[in-house]
Each structure stands twice: as structure tokens, then as C-alpha cells.
Structure 1
């Protein structure tokens, strides 16, 4: 028992020591090198090798800098960043989703304003796709840079569609007809698993953009002013629940997870799946370039939002720098390296993770499906940030938990009432 307690204590000490501010770790036993701590979220085998090599290449070109790197999972980084931020101990450089996930750090003055660096190096600033760079803007200042971009599409299994004589739908009525045909042929129309409950937010975030005007969404997604009283929010949730109630998601969706159902989709057990371009490389590897296709998410026929036909859910994944970093110039130099054209092209080619640069997705560094999807995305004029990122965490958690209950019978009105209550509490706490 004593040994276990001692081991646990040592582990805690080691974990705590890893992420102290860079001013506390300016030098080490290896001399006077500048040390920058870097927290990222790509532990999967298909990704981590690229990021480790990129860091090694940067250190080789900058022999006076050491990057102390930790790479953990999506959920783990959400929890860790919250703990580190509360303790005033953010890493020098860290991964952050866009929207509210990043804005909370900006509002609190916890991350470095990159605007002066971008004004000084306008070529760097102008190299990013504007719609994705804007996801890191707060009060007209840039607080992060995007290295990865993604938008949602509905994917379809080409063999399943061929076997059932189906055409790719372009309208909501055609989409529902496809679902009915597949269901009638004993095939689950849409692969869906929600045991981790975040997957609902992709659907509802997209439907919010279909049913609610942009200005209203902006006000409601702000923690200080969110109300969610527009009737479009109920229509959005109801549209999502109708897909489940019609049997298009199959059975027991809350007992399955996203990773399970996408494997089933690849195996031809479902006809379609909602997914992001950042994940297309998985499908290409599993099914081949000709095994699957994609189409724009059809707009419900009763949608009334002013961006219903021009907005798609998506966003960027970003790197930010702690406001407490003692070596901000060197940290910015690292961000410039990671988001340079040469490195971005390599990132997409080697990992399949779409970069966020203008002209960064090509047929040479990605497969034809991804390249075509980004070309198709040029028709969209607005990006609706991932819903669980662009609202306060308490609102997002309430949304996800209540939507999960909705899949088991809870009404759309009651779900939105839960969200309204959470938003009111958050707004009051932000006064």
C-alpha cells in the first residue's frame, strides 16, 4: 500500500511539473536552451508520427529551442486544459478548438494576442483560409492560428446505393425518400452512435443554422446573452428527433459509439453517415477512393434561417500561446513553422488531416475525394462552428445530455427548455 501511495504521489508531482510556465523552465541540464511546453491532441498512431517528426525538424532548424511535447486524446485535453487554466498553469503552446472553447481563454486574458505578429507578417496572416482564421477572432483580435480545417458532409456507401438503385439526394424530400427505401430493404439508412453523446451536436448545430438566423445564433451562443427562445431551436431539435423516431438511425443508438458505427458503414451495414472532411482519410483507407461519396447536407423544407442554404457546420483546430509564456517570439516562430505552406502540405499528405491554408488541399497531397469536397465547400459562404465548441461548456453539456434523453423519448420542447435554463444560469453568472 505504501509503495502504491508513493508511486501515485510521484506521478502527480511529475504531471504537475510538466506544465509549469515556460519562465519556470527556461533552462535545464542541457544548457541554456529555451524550453517551450506544447500540449496537443493527436495520440493516434496514424497522426503522432507526423507531429513528432515536425517537432524534431523544428528543433533541428532552431538548435536553441527545445519543445517539450505531450500528446493526449480529445476528451483528456478538454479536462486537462480546464484544470491547468484554473491553476494558472497553461502550457506555452496548446491545442484549442475554435468558438467558445477558445474565447473563454481570450476573455480571461489567458492567451497571447497574435494580432501584432500578424500585422508585422501579413503574408503569414493572409495565407490562411479566412473563414477558418476567423474562428480564433475575439473582439477583433486573433488569439490563435488554425492548422486543421473541417466541414460536415453526408457520406454514402456507393455499393449500398448501387444495390438499392438509389441516386444521390439533393433535396430534403429526396433524402427522406432514400432513407425510406433503405429502411424498407432492411438496411439502416444512417449510421449513428451516441454513447459518448457529442455526435448529436453535429446534427443539431447544422439544423440550428438552417432554422435560426445568424444574428440570433450569435447572440445566443454568447455566454453573456444566450436565451435560445427562438422557435427555430425547437424545430432544429425536432428535425433531428424525427430522423431517430422514423427508425433511420436504427436501434439502441445510445449504446453505440461513433467509432463503431463508422466501421459498420464501411462494411456496408448502413447507407449513409454524417462526418467531417477531417475524417475522410479514414474512409479512403477503409473503402478506397471509389468506395464512398459525399453530398451536401440537404436543407429541411421548412427551414427559415437566413443562412439555411449557404452555411455548413465546420471549423478549425487551432494552436494558441499562453499569455504567461516568457518566450512568445520563439513560440510564434514555432506556430509559423507548423502552419507554413511546406509543413501544411506535408501534414495533409502524410496524415490526411486537412490544413487550413489557401490552396493547401490539392489532388497531389490528398486523395481526390477530399480535394473535391473542399472544392464543393467553396459554395458555402458561412461556417457554423461546432455547436459543442461555440457555446459555453455548461450549455453544451446540457444540450448533449438532454439530446441523449431525447433519443429515448424526451420531447424537443423539453430539451430546449433545459438549454434555456442552462443558458440563463450562464448569462447571470457572466453579469
Structure 2
């Protein structure tokens, strides 16, 4: 009887251990299968889908859901999500304009991640590109692509009309008049990005030695001691507009992106202002030979300003999955991620890919950023969200439409004073 009891007890213990083991195994399996889904506010283009597929293959515990971006209203949409307490986990924005979120405490400080392991992640970047997302010594945005403001050139037009691509403003005016006589607009640019044309202002500032101060909002934009450059740029752009060199003439200030790009592809525009990040699109879609050129210099022999605007990614301060979000950004800016963006004609931001650009048009674009006379700058939009909005949406258009330059600069100066607190 005693032996039977011992056997029975042994069987009970064995069953209990088996059940416990099974439960533990089931619990472990459940934990291993736990998958977190992060939301990514970005383009739903194929290169992003390719990056996500590769990331998920290496990170089976994370799924990435693309929330298609509305570039025209990105800032407001992102801020609304953060304020509601339900933001995306990773968001696209322009690195050099990240102050729009930092100033209101909406962006996660990514410095600890970038500087971990003796700056291991940060050291993979070209310094001027990663620094585009730095404010007061801290990094809030990780740049994955430089957005070089440039001129896309219809080289066929210039060749057929025996003209040279202008390198100075005076040359531009001469060429523009010759093209006008042939029914061709010299310049194309669309509503919403007229702030790009202020590259002339940055050139003047660079040649007067005040570029860094002015771009940081430390010099007045109006008055007897105003920073040089803005007035000059506005005068030049107003002149081009009034002379009808800017497509499509009177409607140039409200022309849409689709309208302007269509006119460029139709051979009605000789030179198109746009971000260099679109070089792949123009090379693929244009039915003529496309080239890239530097913005004309205000004066020959002067310094040339090159912006450090970048496409970047950041993590909202109250994102639900911060660690997974950072892991995704790390992969996005790795060699594997950058290979996908480069395949679509986009320039890389990491050192390992800088010398692997084999596309001639992309190489030409990079060459516009080099030279002894090249000076890098950050946009004045960083001064404050209000300054950013006025520069991007109002300043150039208002002056070309008839507002006095004094009045327009006074409005900008009021915004600068408010932002600087004095």
C-alpha cells in the first residue's frame, strides 16, 4: 500500500512538473511572439516599403505601419497628433526646421542614442547633415538625405539656342530676355516654396560676413542697421517677376507644383528651382537632357551659399514605442536603408555611401556643394515657427504682388523680435 502511495505521488508530481513546464513554455512562446506596431508618418513610396520590409525581416518583434504624409500640412498634422496624446512613433520632417517641435517640447532628445558607445551612430553621418537636426547642442532629428536647393536645367534648350547656363544674376537677366523672345520662360518655381529663392539673400550675407548671425536671428531684418541680403534678394526676384521671366508670368505666385513641373517637361521652362532630392524623378521623366546648376551668383567671384536642409526623422516626445522607433531610424539610416533611397536618385547622408554615388547627375548635384568659395548655412526659418511660416508662405509673394519691401521686412522683423524676446 505504501509503495502504491509513493508511485501515485510520483505520478502526481511528474504531471504537475509537466504541466508547469508546458505552461512556462507557452508563456515564453507568447512573449517571443509579442509584436509591437509602430506608426511611421512618411511617404508610402516603394523605397520606404522596401526599407520597412528589410527592417521587419531583421526585427520580427516590430511591425511598421506607414501613415502617408501630407507634405503641405505636415507640421500642423504632426503637432495635432502629439497634442492629442496619440502621435505616430516616427515622423518625417525637415531636419533644419525641427525647431518647430523643439521649441514647444514636442521632440524627443536623441542625443543619448547618437552618442552611445563613443558616438558610434553619430560618427556614421556626414557632420553637416547630422548637425542639421541639432539645437543648443542636442540632437532632435536624424537626417537621412540632404535636400540641396538647385536649378534643374533643360540642357537641350540651351544647346539648341546656343546659350550658356548663367552663373551670375546679370547673365541670368540677359539669358532670360533671349529665351522670352522665343516663348520660353527662364525660371520655374511653384507656390509654397518661394522661400527657396532667398538663396540670393544668403549669398549676400555670406559675402558680408554676417551669414551665421543673421540666420540665427541675431541681426535685425529691417531698419538702418538691417542685415544685408534680404532686400537685395527681394529686389532681384521682383524684377524677374515683373519682366515675365518667371513661369507663367502673372500667375507665377500661385502656380502649383503639377503645373510647373508639367511646363518644364513640355520644354516651356529652361531652369526649374527644386530640391535636389528629386534628381531621380527629373532624370527619369524628362524627355530631354537634364542637368543641374548652382544658383547664379549675385556677383562673380563671390562666396556661394549652400543650405543644409535635410529630410529627417524624429520621435515625438510622447510616442508610445520610443525604443522601437529609434531602432527603426537606426536601420533607416544604415547602409541597407540608404541603399534603397539612393536607388531612387536620392543622395545619402552617411559617410559610407558618399563615395558610392555612380550616377552622373547625382555626382553633378553633389559637386554644386563643393569648392573653396562654398559656405554652408542654415535657413532663417529656424528662428521660430512664425518666422518659418512668413518666409515660406508670404514674403516673396507679397513683394512681387506689390507690397513694399520696407513693409514686408518690417513684418519679418517684428516676428524676429518676438522670437528672440527683445
On whether the aligned pair clears a TM of 0.5, the verdict is: yes
Structure 1 residue 352: Cα displacement: 2.3
Question: SS of 2:66's equivalent?
Answer: strand
Contact 2:95 2:313 in 1 (8 A): no
- The question of 1:420 aligning with 2:413 is answered yes
Bigger mean CA offset, 239-248 vs 87-96: 87-96
Among candidates 161, 179, 189, match of residue 164 of structure 1: 161
Structure 2, gaps ≥5 residues long: 1-29
Q: Distance in 2 between matches of 1:201 and 1:117?
A: 33
- The question of 1:97 aligning with 2:67 is answered no
Alignment correspondent of 1:371: 363
Among candidates 114, 117, 120, match of residue 118 of structure 1: 114
Given the superposition, is the C-alpha separation of residues 243 and 123 from structure 1 closer, same or farther in structure 2, using an over 3 Å criterion?
same
Structure 1 residue 235: Cα displacement: 1.6
Contact 1:187 1:271 in 2 (8 A): yes
Among candidates 282, 295, 299, match of residue 297 of structure 1: 295
* Equivalent residue runs for 1:246-395 within 5 Å: 246-250=243-247, 251=249, 252-287=251-286, 291-301=289-299, 309-325=303-319, 327-349=321-343, 351-361=344-354, 367-379=359-371, 381-386=374-379, 389-395=381-387
Structure 1 residue 353: Cα displacement: 2.4
Q: Distance in 2 between matches of 1:29 and 1:78?
A: 37
Among candidates 34, 38, 54, match of residue 57 of structure 1: 54
Given the superposition, is the C-alpha separation of residues 414 and 30 from structure 1 closer, same or farther in structure 2, using an over 3 Å criterion?
farther
Q: Which protein has the larger Cα radius of gyration, Structure 1 or Structure 2?
A: 2
Given the superposition, is the C-alpha separation of residues 69 and 219 from structure 1 closer, same or farther in structure 2, using an over 3 Å criterion?
same
**What TM-score does the superposition give when structure 2 sets the normalisation length?**
0.81
Among candidates 404, 410, 415, match of residue 411 of structure 1: 404
Q: Number of paired residues?
A: 383
Structure 1 residue 221: Cα displacement: 4.7
Structure 1 residue 358: Cα displacement: 1.9
Structure 1, gaps ≥5 residues long: 1-27
Question: SS of 2:163's equivalent?
Answer: coil
Q: Distance in 2 between matches of 1:358 and 1:186?
A: 44
Question: SS of 1:190's equivalent?
Answer: strand
Q: Distance in 2 between matches of 1:217 and 1:149?
A: 20
Alignment correspondent of 1:24: none
* Equivalent residue runs for 1:95-244 within 5 Å: 95-99=92-96, 101-121=97-117, 122-194=119-191, 198-204=192-198, 206-213=199-206, 216-222=210-216, 227-228=220-221, 229-244=226-241
Q: Distance in 2 between matches of 1:382 and 1:330?
A: 37
Structure 1 residue 67: Cα displacement: 2.3
Structure 1 residue 134: Cα displacement: 0.8
Structure 1 residue 133: Cα displacement: 0.9
Given the superposition, is the C-alpha separation of residues 361 and 262 from structure 1 closer, same or farther in structure 2, using an over 3 Å criterion?
farther
Given the superposition, is the C-alpha separation of residues 359 and 58 from structure 1 closer, same or farther in structure 2, using an over 3 Å criterion?
closer
Question: SS of 1:95's equivalent?
Answer: strand
Structure 1 residue 31: Cα displacement: 6.0
Any idea what the Cα deviations from partners look like across 1:342-378, whole Å, max 9, x if unmatched? Answer: 22022210x22222122525676x6321122113423
Question: SS of 2:183's equivalent?
Answer: coil
**What TM-score does the superposition give when structure 1 sets the normalisation length?**
0.80
Any idea what the Cα deviations from partners look like across 1:85-111, whole Å, max 9, x if unmatched? Answer: 333443222112122x31233344432
Given the superposition, is the C-alpha separation of residues 421 and 106 from structure 1 closer, same or farther in structure 2, using an over 3 Å criterion?
closer
Q: Distance in 2 between matches of 1:258 and 1:98?
A: 22
Alignment correspondent of 2:19: none
Alignment correspondent of 1:35: 37
